[in-house]
């Protein structure tokens, strides 16, 4: 899934300390070194994200990524010393993009069920960025392996999402809009599961048009059954 919307966005993570590896042979004429290095890092992350989302992490070598970036392997290692470090940076960047675009300012004012309902907009938004969705789904499929380098990312991603859903349910409860016997933990895991699972159907099956109306049915059914 993509992270659900929440009043506060996550702090933007800089997944790697900024480096200034002076890749002289690729530097443009007028730009300062730091900006050049940051731009090159960003290019590598975008390219690696695409390669990982298409071919997976395990089946991709650093030399494949270097080639796709137009770099030597040594050049790539200058920025990202290992494939695991590169993966961490790619997934952190993915989550940042996802957060940045998903959080319309209006959504930050929402509480309780209305805040939960705003997740349908996130699902709708995701329909416009299949690359981001596919990177998530492909990496998640590998990362169920608890020894996979992306496992901790996946678990943290889900737990962070769960914390936000739980917070919205707590607001609904505080405002008197939640049935006392509402199964909050189960609904939290189901809202995450449905987002992940709809993405799987949507990416794989060309006949499946829109995820957002389905997700709205889930949100609305929970609200009608468990809201007050």
Binding stretches for its own copies (CB under 8 A):
1, 54-56, 58-59, 134, 137-146, 151, 154-155, 158-159, 183, 186-187, 189-190, 192-198, 200-201, 203-206, 208, 213-214, 217-218, 221-222, 224-226
Please list the alpha-helical segments (H only) found in the chain. Answer: 33-55, 62-69, 73-79, 83-102, 112-117, 119-126, 130-143, 151-174, 184-204, 212-226
Nearer to its own copies, 97 or 200 (CB): 200
Q: What is the spatial distance between Cα 121 and Cα 95, in angstroms, rounded to a whole number? A: 16
Nearer to its own copies, 26 or 225 (CB): 225
Residue 42 CB, shortest distance to its own copies, in Å, is: 25
Q: What is the spatial distance between Cα 228 and Cα 217, in angstroms, rounded to a whole number? A: 18
Residue 189 CB, shortest distance to its own copies, in Å, is: 5
User: How many Cβ atoms sit within 10 Å of the Cβ of residue 133?
Assistant: 26
Nearer to its own copies, 31 or 225 (CB): 225
Nearer to its own copies, 57 or 79 (CB): 57
Nearer to its own copies, 17 or 206 (CB): 206
Q: What is the spatial distance between Cα 212 and Cα 214, in angstroms, rounded to a whole number? A: 5
Residue 155 CB, shortest distance to its own copies, in Å, is: 5
Q: What is the spatial distance between Cα 215 and Cα 15, in angstroms, rounded to a whole number? A: 31
Residue 168 CB, shortest distance to its own copies, in Å, is: 17
Q: What is the spatial distance between Cα 202 and Cα 68, in angstroms, rounded to a whole number? A: 27
The answer to whether 163 and 148 are in contact (CB under 8 A) is no
Nearer to its own copies, 163 or 217 (CB): 217
Token output for 126: 């995701």
Residue 51 CB, shortest distance to its own copies, in Å, is: 12
Residue 36 CB, shortest distance to its own copies, in Å, is: 34
Q: What is the spatial distance between Cα 65 and Cα 50, in angstroms, rounded to a whole number? A: 10
């Amino acid at each position: 899934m993509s992270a659900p919307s929440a009043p506060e966005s996550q702090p933007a993570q800089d997944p790697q300390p900024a480096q200034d590896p002076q890749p002289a042979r690729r530097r443009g004429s007028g730009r300062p070194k730091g900006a050049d290095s940051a731009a090159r890092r960003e290019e590598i992350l975008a390219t690696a994200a695409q390669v990982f989302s298409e071919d997976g992490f395990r089946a991709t070598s650093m030399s494949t990524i270097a080639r796709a970036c137009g770099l030597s392997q040594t050049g790539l290692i200058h920025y990202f010393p290992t494939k695991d470090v590169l993966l961490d940076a790619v997934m952190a960047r993915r989550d940042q993009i996802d957060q940045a675009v998903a959080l319309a300012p209006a959504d930050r004012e929402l509480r309780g069920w209305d805040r939960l309902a705003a997740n349908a907009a996130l699902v709708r938004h995701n329909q416009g960025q299949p690359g981001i969705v596919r990177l998530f789904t492909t990496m998640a499929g590998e990362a169920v392996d608890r020894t996979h380098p992306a496992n901790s990312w996946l678990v943290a991603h889900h737990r962070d999402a769960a914390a936000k859903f739980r917070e919205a349910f707590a607001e609904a409860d505080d405002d008197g809009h939640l049935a006392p016997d509402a199964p909050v933990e189960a609904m939290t895991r189901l809202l995450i599961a449905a987002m992940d699972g709809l993405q799987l159907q949507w990416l794989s099956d060309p006949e499946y048009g829109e995820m957002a109306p389905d997700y709205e049915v889930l949100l609305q059914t929970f609200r009608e059954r468990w809201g007050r």
